[in-house]
Every structure is written in structure tokens, then in C-alpha cells.
């Protein structure tokens, strides 16, 4: 990696952690320059505008998510084992990328769900891509005969997202010591239902 690229990665890493606490709107090129003892003009050379910075932070976090969760899960055997790998890797993501403000995407979603613009558009695209990866993995489980032919891949993806949001709520806000166990039980219930004929 060129030195400029290494610096850019370091800035994005710091900005991602910071955004998990203060939101993407809370980021500023001047503030980052101060934190990292870099020149403000140097940061402008990297990012041009606050919006460009926000988009790059989003892509940086998404890249980390793909590396830690998506790609390793997709190397596991097709079918239920892969669905399980998605859950396990996803549940482990806060440990892979520990951030002061909790899950980067949960924070950013709530910040941008009513702020139209390029950042929100990119976020929606990333979330839809991820739901599609989950749904496609469920399709492999149907194809392999692990799940019932009537299992609904999009519904499963939607439900699994709800399980993860419920986990985040229980763990981060309520400090529920059983949050992980509850998420695991909710996931097992989804698996059981997918194995059965639809009602």
C-alpha cells in the first residue's frame, strides 16, 4: 500500500470508531485532523467534503463487515451450515470490530433513516445487499433439502435482521446478561420453523 493509502485507511478506521459514538453527522474533517494530528488541508485532499468522508466511512465499515462476516461465512458448506455460519459470524462481529458506540450500522441506520441523500441511499443499498446475501444462503438450504421447500428466504432474512436488532437492544441498552443466549434461541426457533412446512 502506498503511504497515502495507509494514512487514508488509518483515518477511516478512526472515523468509523468515532462515528459509532457521535454519528456520521458528528464527524468533521477539522475534528479528525486534530484527533490524528494531521493537517486539515491533508485531510481535505483525501476526502474533499464531509459527505465524501461519510460515504467512505460507510464503505470502510462495510468492507470490514464483508471481510469478517460475509466472505468467511460464504466459504462454509452450502445449506443450513452456511446459514448458521452467517449467524455466528454476525453475532461475533462486535468482537471483530469493537467500537465505543456499539454496532456501527445500527447507529448509522437510526441516524439516517429520515435524512434523504447520497449517504442514506448508500446505506440502504448496503443493507439490501446484506439481506440478499442472507436470503440467497437460505435458498441454498432449501436446495440442499435442509429447509422446507416453502420456507421464505426474504422473510427469513428479515426475521434474522430483527433477531440481531433485538440482540443489540437487549445488550446495549438493557445490559441484559442473557442477550446472546436469547438471540441464539431466537435463531434456533427460526431454523426449526424453516425446517417445517409453512403453516
Residues in touch with its own copies (CB under 8 A)? 21, 100-102, 106-107, 109-114, 120, 123-124, 127-128, 152, 154-155, 158-159, 161-167, 169-170, 172-176, 182, 185-186, 188-189, 192-193, 199
Query: 22: buried, middle or exposed (CB in 10 Å: 19+, 13-18, 0-12)?
Result: middle
Count how many residues are written for the chain. 199
Nearer CB in complex with its own copies: 47/187: 187
Give the separation between CA 148 and CA 82, rounded to whole angstroms: 16
Residue 48: CB minimum distance to its own copies, A: 26
Residue 15: CB minimum distance to its own copies, A: 17
Nearer CB in complex with its own copies: 71/115: 115
Residue 131: CB minimum distance to its own copies, A: 8
Give the separation between CA 145 and CA 62, rounded to whole angstroms: 31
Closest alpha carbon to 17 in 95, 100, 119, 112: 100
Amino acid at each position: 500500500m502506498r503511504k497515502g493509502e495507509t494514512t487514508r485507511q488509518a483515518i477511516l478506521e478512526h472515523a468509523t470508531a468515532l462515528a459509532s459514538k457521535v454519528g456520521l453527522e458528528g464527524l468533521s474533517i477539522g475534528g479528525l485532523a486534530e484527533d490524528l494530528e494531521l493537517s486539515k488541508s491533508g485531510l481535505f485532499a483525501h476526502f474533499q467534503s464531509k459527505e465524501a468522508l461519510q460515504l467512505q466511512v460507510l464503505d470502510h465499515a462495510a468492507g470490514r463487515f464483508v471481510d469478517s462476516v460475509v466472505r468467511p461465512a460464504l466459504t462454509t458448506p452450502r445449506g443450513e451450515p452456511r446459514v448458521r455460519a452467517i449467524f455466528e459470524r454476525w453475532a461475533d462481529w462486535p468482537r471483530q470490530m469493537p467500537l465505543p458506540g456499539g454496532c456501527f450500522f445500527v447507529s448509522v441506520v437510526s441516524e439516517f433513516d429520515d435524512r434523504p441523500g447520497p449517504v442514506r441511499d448508500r446505506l440502504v443499498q448496503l443493507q439490501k445487499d446484506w439481506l440478499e446475501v442472507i436470503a440467497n444462503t437460505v435458498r441454498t438450504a432449501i436446495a440442499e433439502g435442509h429447509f422446507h421447500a416453502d420456507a421464505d428466504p426474504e422473510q427469513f432474512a428479515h426475521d434474522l435482521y430483527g433477531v440481531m436488532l433485538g440482540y443489540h437492544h437487549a445488550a446495549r441498552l438493557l445490559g441484559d446478561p442473557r442477550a446472546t443466549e436469547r438471540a441464539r434461541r431466537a435463531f434456533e426457533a427460526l431454523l426449526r420453523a424453516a425446517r417445517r412446512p409453512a403453516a
